[in-house]
Amino acid sequence: MLEMRGITKRFPGVVANDDVSFDLRAGEVHTLLGENGAGKSTLMKILFGLYQPDAGEILLQGRPVTITSPTDAIEHRIGMVHQHFMLVPTLTVAENVALGLPSMRRPFTDLDTVSQRMVEISDQYGLTVDPSIEVWKLSVGERQRVEIIKALYREAELLVLDEPTAVLTPQEVDDLFVILRQMTEAGRGLVFISHKLREVLDLSDRITVLRNGVVTGTTVPAEASLERLAEMMVGREVSLAPDKPPVATGRPRLVLEHVTVIGDRDTVAVDGVDLEVRAGEIVGIAGVSGNGQRELAETIAGLRPAEPGSSVQIDRADVTTADAATTRAAGLAYVPEERMKDGAIGEFDVGENLLLVNHRDPSFLRGGLFDFERIRLHCQRLVDAFSVKTPTLQTPTSSLSGGNIQKLILARELDSDPTVLLAAQPTRGVDIGAAEYIHGQLIERRSEGVAVLLISEDLDEILALADRIAVMYEGRIVQLVDRADATREGLGLAMAGAADRSPG
């Protein structure tokens, strides 16, 4: 039904799509696989009329078409579920669906009719959602349903789903896949964009891999494996399951007792969390984001006050009320979730960011002023040791890739020889190569006797690295299991709040 031929799209300084060809048949799921920046989203934005290609053509049902705006795309029965939802939070579900469509009751909206048809579509696919509720009150999964309903309401025959599973719990992913299969059975064609290999193999009929704007191959799941797909994405062999040597665990180095934290919206974000992380182990905190992980991490790092009665200890030192500097001095290294907001200063250059936490260190001073030569050597050593790819130490940090920024932060944090490493979403949005490297670093520190607390939404990452796994839901640890006893399904249920509330 769709053919894109020889699509080329250049942005200043980068070729996002280089002679890319892609096709889709009715009734199939054709996955576009690639790392961040490989050109998947660009290709689909071209299809949706948000970008114009510099070269190439698009054929629908065999006829060449020009798509210059989303309106054109919608007219051609192309729908798109964007990675960042294209929803207006203050509008109701029905209003979001009706937006941009002609109303039968001009100049007034006709939300009753819209709601009615919406419910019909919902029933058909099991996409239950209340049309009269405002979108900001919906969960992430529900919002995604609204996005799909929007496309179906416009009678989309071809639906593009841009990283639709990134924000979902495993159960929600399963539900989504059921819906998507129903849609293909009804003869619709789906383009599925993802970098999660397991899901891709699970759902796809065909898989096309992009790397640096170029198609590196098209395959079918029967002929592919996780390793093969990863290799096509990265361009070299990668180890997806890092080797984890057995390590004897030591005494508890990070101890949380009844930690309760109030969040930004004056609600209880972390609700009485008890947890200890021993020397030589990695404890993973799984959970859908927004369940208190960020607040917990900030509290441990001394960036957010805990409520009275809470206790945070690092190597037996009470740091419950300590500030960030004191907490660091007690032995904590912290890789924050928002690397560009909390982890590094984009306008600062690489060297300056490396020096951020220890710029008061007297060994960098000479006569009260910075000893720039010594600092340069120190920074160069870190950049080399952690293979941060940067043209110079003076390069503005914001111009590095996500993976390199993360390596830079890791380099800075691990340089202080911490006893506790708190890593929040350390590989989110990071290319596979860098993720591999970061994972290796976490395991290495574990072997050295560091207590590692890993917070991640990526269940695969948790399962690959953690020795014990805690699941956070609505501010509490609802499940705490050894890796050996953990199953993807059990964790998924716990993440969705369905687990037994008693931890253990």
Partner 1 sequence: MSDFFTLSVLVATFASGVRLATPYLLAGLGETVGQRSGVLNLGVDGVMLLSAFGAYWTSLETGSLLLGVGAGLLVGLVMGVVYGIITVIFQAEQGISGIGIYLFGLGFSDLLFEEMVGTPTPIKSLPKYSIPGLSRLPILGEALFEHNLMTYAAFLLVPLVALLLMKTTFGMNVRAVGENPEAADSLGVSVGLTRFAAIMVGNGMAGLAGAALTLGLGIFQPNLTQGLGFIAVALVYFGAWRARGVMLGALLYGIVAAVVLQLKARELIPLEASDLAAMAPAVLTIVALVVVAGRIEAPAALTNPFSRH
Smallest gap from Cβ 441 to partner 1, in A, equals 36
Please report whether residue 267 would count as binding partner 1 according to CB under 8 A.
no
Please report whether residue 446 would count as binding partner 1 according to CB under 8 A.
no
Smallest gap from Cβ 46 to partner 1, in A, equals 12
- Structure tokens of 66? 């020009």
H helices within 167-259, ranges in order?
170-185, 197-203, 226-234
Kindly tell me the burial class for residue 19, based on how many C-beta atoms sit within 10 Å of its own C-beta (0-12, 13-18, 19 or more).
middle
Smallest gap from Cβ 106 to partner 1, in A, equals 7
Binding-site member from 93, 98, 454, 465 for partner 1 (CB under 8 A): 98
Please report whether residue 69 would count as binding partner 1 according to CB under 8 A.
yes
Nearer to partner 1, 91 or 303 (CB): 91
Binding-site member from 21, 90, 128, 239 for partner 1 (CB under 8 A): 90
Number of residues that bind partner 1 (CB under 8 A): 28
Piece of 86-94, 212-220, 284-292, 452-460 that binds partner 1 (CB under 8 A): 86-94
Rounded-to-integer distance, Cα 432 and Cα 458, Å: 13
Do the beta carbons of residue 424 and residue 293 sit within 8 Å?
A: yes
Nearer to partner 1, 22 or 48 (CB): 48
Binding-site member from 14, 55, 88, 340 for partner 1 (CB under 8 A): 88
Q: Which residue has the tokens 């941009």?
A: 100
8-state DSSP, 73:
H
Nearer to partner 1, 66 or 502 (CB): 66
Please report whether residue 95 would count as binding partner 1 according to CB under 8 A.
yes
Kindly tell me the burial class for residue 348, based on how many C-beta atoms sit within 10 Å of its own C-beta (0-12, 13-18, 19 or more).
middle
8-state DSSP, 343:
I
Please report whether residue 121 would count as binding partner 1 according to CB under 8 A.
no
Rounded-to-integer distance, Cα 339 and Cα 412, Å: 13
Binding-site member from 150, 278, 407, 412 for partner 1 (CB under 8 A): 150
Cα dihedral value 167, 171, 176, 178, nearest 10: 160
Binding-site member from 15, 26, 65, 86 for partner 1 (CB under 8 A): 86
H helices within 128-258, ranges in order?
140-153, 170-185, 197-203, 226-234
Nearer to partner 1, 69 or 132 (CB): 69
Do the beta carbons of residue 47 and residue 1 sit within 8 Å?
A: no
Beta strands in 346-475 (DSSP E): 365-366, 369-370, 420-424, 451-455, 468-473
- Structure tokens of 423? 């890593």
Smallest gap from Cβ 31 to partner 1, in A, equals 22
Piece of 54-62, 95-103, 156-164, 401-409 that binds partner 1 (CB under 8 A): 95-103
Do the beta carbons of residue 203 and residue 42 sit within 8 Å?
A: no
Binding-site member from 22, 85, 386, 437 for partner 1 (CB under 8 A): 85
Nearer to partner 1, 52 or 394 (CB): 52
Please report whether residue 14 would count as binding partner 1 according to CB under 8 A.
no
Nearer to partner 1, 135 or 335 (CB): 135
Smallest gap from Cβ 48 to partner 1, in A, equals 8
Using CB under 8 A as the binding rule, the residues of this chain from 101 to 120 that contact partner 1 are 101, 103, 106-109
Please report whether residue 134 would count as binding partner 1 according to CB under 8 A.
no
The beta-carbon contacts of 462-467 under 8 Å, at least 24 apart in sequence, are 462/284, 462/285, 462/286, 462/491, 463/284, 463/488, 463/491, 464/240, 464/241, 464/242, 464/439, 465/242, 465/244, 465/282, 465/284, 465/439, 466/282, 466/283, 466/284, 467/249, 467/281, 467/282, 467/283
* Residue numbers at the binding site for partner 1 (CB under 8 A): 48, 50-51, 69-71, 74, 80, 82, 85-91, 95-96, 98-101, 103, 106-109, 150
